Structures are given as structure tokens and as C-alpha cells.
Amino acid sequence: MDLSYTDEEQAFRAEVRDWLAETLPRDLSEKVRLGKRMSKQDVEHWHRLLNAKGWLAPNWPRKYGGAEWNAVQRQIFEEEACLAHAPRTLPFGLSMLAPVLMAFGSEEQRQRFLPGLLDGTNWWCQGYSEPGAGSDLAAVKTRAVREGDEYVVNGQKTWTTLGQHADWIFCLVRTDPDAKKQEGISFLLIDMTSPGVTVRPIVLIDGEAEVNEVFFDNVRVPAENLVGEENKGWTYAKYLLTHERTNIAGVGFSTAALDTVKHVAQNVKSGGKPLAENPHFAARLAQVEIDLMAMATTNLRVVSAAAKGEAPGAESSMLKVKGTVIRQELTSLLRRAVGPDALPFQPDYLEGGDNAEMMGPEHAATSGPSYFNMRKLSIFGGSNEVQRTIITKAIIGL
């Protein structure tokens, strides 16, 4: 296994770095650097710039307008984008739904939906989880009953990220309540403007309504919006989840966050000395840096295997657990470094208004909400407890 970058890959890194330096708008990178919230317009702006360069969909084939990068190129882009404080792209349509449509959708569905993902016409959200179906996803109850050339959908989804902005939702629905639970599920595309769809915000601990409940009350959905075969949705759902968990290690994000924590800790005083020299703080900082270096190497092993076409196995669970624990620890250290200045809740500043006044030093206003928001990382994308069970079975063999 070769973990060093080739000359070609180094040249690609330089190309990405130059493009980011020329193209990434300063107002967007400042928002990301300071941990402010992105608006819908911000995300659309960034998507447009990437799409104009042909880089919005790194893993799509060129024939659909993607960049068709290999795993190493994607990793390099991710690292450079994080170092430049570029916004994240929205994964729901681009890296979750699109691979499913390419693998299991009809040609008509691909022609109909893929262009709108690139040009920003359609925002998608993910309708998997329900009040009684999270870790046990196959327990979904939202019912879809076929009536002629339509499905009639009734039920509820929850934790639907950015559902308030979405034009469409891809949903797991139960089409056969009598079959074994994994065998009675279908994958349905639902227009969020359909009569009977209601979106209700859930305000999270950081004060942001990032997620929603979505209710379906006799929603009529054309049968042509069924992806693949009826009752085969579980296969497509699992395929989508393997794409949801790519890049889960967040090496680039954590590297940038580590730099921030170090910078703040050098400039904050504790007992007359920089906080970075406080033994307890320094030990935590060193530990998270060591963990990050170890994870980055594991990540390179996985990326290197993926570049040779090998599918990641339980390693993706290791990356998910380690990556999220590291990100959470970094937000915890930043909040600790900022101290009491992390306490005031300053929503105007968080929402990104350039002229909004901030109490305390840079990073103070966002460090508290970021700390709280990042608790989500160990819950979604398959909770860390469930990932640990996968690791103990598949890797440790218990």
C-alpha cells in the first residue's frame, strides 16, 4: 500500500488550491471560519461556483455532468476546501439520492432529476427516520398504498435536515405491511409542494431550526416516482447509506478546527500564561492531535483501498466513531478556551449579518452553539453506539 501522493496528485492539489484562492468568496469563507450559519442563498452561491467549474458533483460520471474524481482526488479536494474554509456542499441530492438514481432509477428519472441537482433548481431532503424508526430504520411505518397510477401516502418523518427549504423529499415508505419488515419497504420521491405535506420545525439545543418533522396526510404521489421495484427499497436505502458515510472522518474539517483551537489557546491567558501552556489543556490538545494524526492515516488506508476499487468495510464505522469524537472534542476545547465569553447567545451574529455586533473575542459567539450543535455527529449517520457494535463484531470478532 502506497500512502504518499503521486506527482499527478500533487499537481491536482495545487490546481484545487489555486482555484479556491481565486474563486471562493471572502464573505463565505469568513462565515465558515468563524462558524457562522450558512443561509440557503450562501449554499446556492457556492453550488453555482462549483458547478460552473464542473466540480459540484465529484463522484458523478462525466456523462451526467460530474467531475468523476477518484477517491484520492476527492480526499484532496476535501482537505483543501476545509483549509480554505469553503462551505460544505449539500449532500442529500448530490451524494445520497444521485448514486441511487444512477444505480437503480429509470433513465427517465435520471433525465428528470439529475440536472436540477446541478443547476440548483431542486433542493432535496432525506425522509428516512421516523419517531419509531431511527437506528432500527427497517421499522418505518409511513404507509404508501397504490391506487391506480398513484400512491397515497400517510405518516410522519422526523429529524428531516433542511426540510424547510426542500422542493423534494426521498422517502422510505411501507408498501407491504405483511411482509418481513425489510421486505415491505419502497423508495419514493415526493414533491414537497403536494397537498397534504406539512413541515414543522424542530429547534435544536443551539437555537437553530435545522431539522423538521414532515407529515403526510393522504398525499397523492405519481407511481412513476417510485425508484426501482416496489418492496425493494431496503436494498436502495442501504446503498444510499454507504454513500452517506463517505468522507465521514472529516479529516479536513478537524485539521482546520485544530488550527483554530491552537491559535485561540496561544492568545488566551490562563494564570498569566498562554492557555496552550496550561498542562491540563495542553494534554487534551496533544491527545486530540495524536488521535487526528492516527485517524488521518487510517483514512488514507481506506482512501488508498477505495482508489483500487475495494469497498470500505467496517473501517468506515471506525472512521465515523473516531472522526466524530475528535470533532466533538475540538469544539469542546474551543469552548473551554473562549471561557465565559462562550456564554452569551447571539443569534444575529450567528445568522451571519456582516454588521451584527459581537460580544467578546472572535470565535466567542459561535463556540457555544457549535459545541452544542456538534453533539449531533455521534447520533446521525448511524449512532456511534451502533457503529461500535459493528466494529466489535466485524473487526474484533466478538
Active site residues: 244
Whether the CB-CB separation of 36 and 354 falls below 8 Å is answered with: no
CB of 172 to ligand FAD, least distance (A): 8
How many Å apart are CA 343 and CA 179, to the nearest integer? Answer: 52
Which span sits near ligand FAD by CB under 6 A: 157-165, 269-277, 317-325, 349-357? 157-165
**Which CB atom, from 306 or from 321, has the smaller least distance to ligand FAD?**
321
Q: Is 161 in the site for ligand FAD (CB under 6 A)?
A: yes
Which span sits near ligand FAD by CB under 6 A: 190-198, 308-316, 328-336, 373-381? 373-381
CB of 209 to ligand FAD, least distance (A): 11
Q: Is 339 in the site for ligand FAD (CB under 6 A)?
A: no
Cell of 12: 491536482
Q: Considering CB under 6 A, how many residues would be counted as binding ligand FAD?
A: 18
Largest CA distance in the chain: 76
CB of 384 to ligand FAD, least distance (A): 7
Q: Is 376 in the site for ligand FAD (CB under 6 A)?
A: yes
Bridge partners (DSSP) of residue 174 are 143, 185
* Interface residue with ligand FAD, options 83, 139, 199, 379 (CB under 6 A): 379
CB of 14 to ligand FAD, least distance (A): 36
The CA angle 88-390-295, to the nearest 5 degrees, is 50
Q: Is 298 in the site for ligand FAD (CB under 6 A)?
A: no
178-210 b/e (C-beta count within 10 Å ≥ 16 → b): eeebeebbbbbbbebebeebebeeeebebebeb
CB of 376 to ligand FAD, least distance (A): 4
Beta pairing class for 124-127 and 168-174: parallel
Q: Is 128 in the site for ligand FAD (CB under 6 A)?
A: yes
Q: Is 239 in the site for ligand FAD (CB under 6 A)?
A: no
Q: Which residue in 252, 211, 206 sits closest to 351, CA to CA? A: 206
**Which CB atom, from 127 or from 184, has the smaller least distance to ligand FAD?**
127
Q: Using DSSP, state whether 163 is helix, strand or coil.
A: coil
| Class of residue 11 by CB neighbours under 10 A (exposed 0-12, middle 13-18, buried 19+) | exposed
- Contacts with ligand FAD in 188-227 (CB under 6 A)? 211
CB of 373 to ligand FAD, least distance (A): 8
* Interface residue with ligand FAD, options 389, 390, 391, 394 (CB under 6 A): 389
Whether the CB-CB separation of 227 and 102 falls below 8 Å is answered with: no
Whether the CB-CB separation of 239 and 99 falls below 8 Å is answered with: yes
Tell me the Cα Rg of the chain.
Answer: 22
How many Å apart are CA 81 and CA 392, to the nearest integer? Answer: 34
Which span sits near ligand FAD by CB under 6 A: 38-46, 97-105, 155-163, 336-344? 155-163
Whether the CB-CB separation of 173 and 155 falls below 8 Å is answered with: yes
Which span sits near ligand FAD by CB under 6 A: 66-74, 229-237, 329-337, 385-393? 385-393
Give the interface with ligand FAD as residue ranges (CB under 6 A): 125-129, 134-135, 159-161, 211, 376, 379-380, 383, 385-386, 389
